[in-house]
Amino acid sequence: MEKESPDASVEVMSNKQVIYREEVQYSLTETHLEVRTSSERLKADKDSGTISVKNLYLACDSYNLNLIKYFTPLGSPIHGYGVARVLESGHPNFKTGDLVWGITRWEEYSLITAPDTCVKIEHSDVPLSSYTGRLLGMPGMTAYAGFFEVCSPKKGETVFISAAAGAVGQLVGQFTKLLGCYVVGSASSKEKVDLLKNKFGFDDAFNYKEELDLDAALKRCFPGGIDIYFDNVGGKMLDAVLLYMKLHGQITVCGMISQYNLKQHEGVHNLMNLVLKRGSDGRFPGVQLLSSLPEVP
Ligand SMILES: NC(=O)c1ccc[n+]([C@@H]2O[C@H](COP(=O)([O-])OP(=O)(O)OC[C@H]3O[C@@H](n4cnc5c(N)ncnc54)[C@H](OP(=O)(O)O)[C@@H]3O)[C@@H](O)[C@H]2O)c1
C-alpha cells in the first residue's frame, strides 16, 4: 500500500483494488479476482452519513468466501473485515483520525456508506493487526458471542466442536474449558489433534479423517451424550452428532465449511432427532443459527 498521507484529499486518488471479476460457483480461484487501480471520487460529504477511510489491515478468514459469494457485487472491490483510519467523516460518530474495525473493502481507500457496521477502536495499546486476527478480530467475536450468547453453556456440560483447531473452534474450546465444561474437538491431522489436547486444553480430540466410523468416535468420547454441539462443518459430522445429542441439547450452527465448495450439498438424514431431543424450552428443536455479524451493506 502507498504511504499514508494524513492530509491527502481522497476526492481523486490512485486506489489499488481487488475486484470480484467472475462469479464463484464453488471454490474461489485467482481467476475470479483481479487487481485494478481506480481513481474514482471517494469523498465523504458533510452529513452524508458516510466515512472515507484508508485501509490499514485486511483479514483473510474462511468467512471471506461467503462475503464474496453472497455480498460483493460483480465488478466491485471484495468485502472483508479490516482495520482502517478515518480520512473524512460525514457521520456524527466518527471524526478524522479515528481508527475503526469492521466491514470494509479490499482496496487502499474505501468509502464506507454504512459506518454503523464499524466499531471505533478505543484500545490501541495492542498491535492494530490483532483486530484482524483470532482474538480481537471477527473469529474472536464469533467464538465469544457464539459460545456465551448462543450456546448458553453451563458448568459441567459436555461440548463437541468441529473444525476445532480453526480460528473460531480453538477459541470456543478454550472458553469452554474456562467455564468448567468437558470438551472434545475434531480436526484433520495428528498435529492438530495434539495441539487441541496438549496446548488448547481440550479433554479429548479425534482425527475425523482417520475415524472410519464417526458414530463410534462420538460414542467413545461422549458415552453419556452431547449437551452442546458447536458446528463449524455441517455435512456428515452434523448427521452423526444428531444421534448423540442429549435430550434438550443445543446445536449452534456457526458454519458449514464442508459444504461450501460442493456442487451438490450432502443430505442430513438424522434430522428427526431434532424433534425427539427437542430444545430446552420443550417447543423448538435445539438448533440456533449464529449470526454474530452485522448486516453487510
Ligand atoms: N456465523 C458466523 O458469524 C461465522 C463467523 C466466522 C466464521 N464462521 C464459520 O465458522 C467456521 C470456522 O471458521 P474459522 O474462521 O475458524 O475457519 P478457519 O480458521 O479457516 O478454519 C477452518 C477449518 O475448517 C476445516 N475444514 C476445511 N474444509 C473442510 C471440509 N471440507 N470438511 C471439514 N472441515 C473442513 C479445516 O480444519 P481441519 O483441517 O481440521 O479439517 C480448517 O482449518 C466456518 O464454517 C466459517 O464459515 C461463521
Q: Which domains does the chain have, with CATH numbers?
A: 17-132 (3.90.180.10), 138-289 (3.40.50.720)
Collect contacts of 244-249 with beta carbons under 8 A, ≥24 apart.
Answer: 244/215, 244/218, 244/219, 245/273, 245/277, 245/286, 246/158, 246/277, 247/277, 247/278, 248/277, 248/278, 248/279, 248/280, 248/282, 248/286, 249/225, 249/277, 249/286
Q: Which has more pLDDT, 66 or 295?
A: 66
Residue 49 CA to residue 113 CA, distance in Å, equals 7
**Percentage of the chain exceeding pLDDT 70:** 89
Give the mean model confidence (pLDDT) for residues 83-91.
96
**pLDDT at residue 260 greater than cutoff 50:** yes
Q: Which of 239, 248, 203, 196 lies closest to 222, judged by CA?
A: 203
Q: What does the pLDDT read at residue 3? A: 45
Task: State which of 32-41, 60-69, 196-205, 241-250 shows the largest mean pLDDT.
Answer: 196-205
pLDDT cut 90: percent of the chain above it: 67
pLDDT band at 279 (very low <50, low <70, confident <90, very high): low
Please tell me which residue, 126 or 297, carries the higher pLDDT value: 126
Question: Whole-model pTM?
Answer: 0.86
Q: Is the CB of residue 245 less than 8 Å from the CB of residue 273?
A: yes
Residue 173 and residue 151 in contact, taking contact as beta carbons nearer than 8 Å: no
Neighbours of 119 (CB within 10 A): 14
* Mean confidence (pLDDT) of the chain: 89
Average pLDDT (136-163) is 92
User: Best of 28, 60, 62 to mutate for ligand 1, by most ligand atoms within 8 A of CB?
Assistant: 62
Query: Can you tell me the mean pLDDT for 126-138?
Result: 87
Cα distance from N-terminal residue to C-terminal residue, the chain: 25
Burial of 26 (0-12, 13-18, 19+ CB in 10 A): exposed
List, chain by chain if needed, residues with CB within 6 Å of any ligand 1 atom. 61-63, 138-139, 142, 163, 165-169, 187-188, 192, 232-233, 254-258, 290-293
Burial of 30 (0-12, 13-18, 19+ CB in 10 A): exposed
Does the pLDDT of residue 199 top 60, yes or no?
A: yes
Burial class (CB in 10 A: 0-12, 13-18, 19+), 174: middle
Measured between alpha carbons, how far is 51 from 184 in angstroms, rounded to an integer? Answer: 44
Q: How confident is the model at residue 293 (pLDDT cuts 50, 70, 90)?
A: low
**Residue nearest atom 31 in ligand 1 by C-alpha distance:** 258
pLDDT of residue 152: 85
Minimum CA distance residue for ligand 1 atom 10: 255
Kindly give the distance from the C-alpha atom of residue 16 to the centroid of ligand 1, in angstroms, as a whole number.
29
User: In the predicted model, is pLDDT for residue 291 greater than 80?
Assistant: no
Among protein residues, the one with the nearest Cα to ligand 1's atom 5 is 142
- Mean pLDDT over 33-43 rounds to 90
pLDDT at 7 (0 to 100): 46
- Give the position, in ligand 1's atom list, of the atom nearest the Cα of 192: 40
The whole-angstrom separation of Cα 87 and Cα 97 is 6
Mean pLDDT for 120-134 is 87
Least confident of 182-196, 237-251, 274-288: 274-288
Q: Rounded to an integer, what is the distance from CA 254 to the centroid of its chain?
A: 8
> pLDDT class for 280, splitting at 50, 70, 90?
low
Q: What average pLDDT does the segment 9-19 reach?
A: 79
Distance from the CA of 233 to the center of ligand 1, in angstroms? 7
Ligand 1 centroid to 26 CA: how many Å? 16
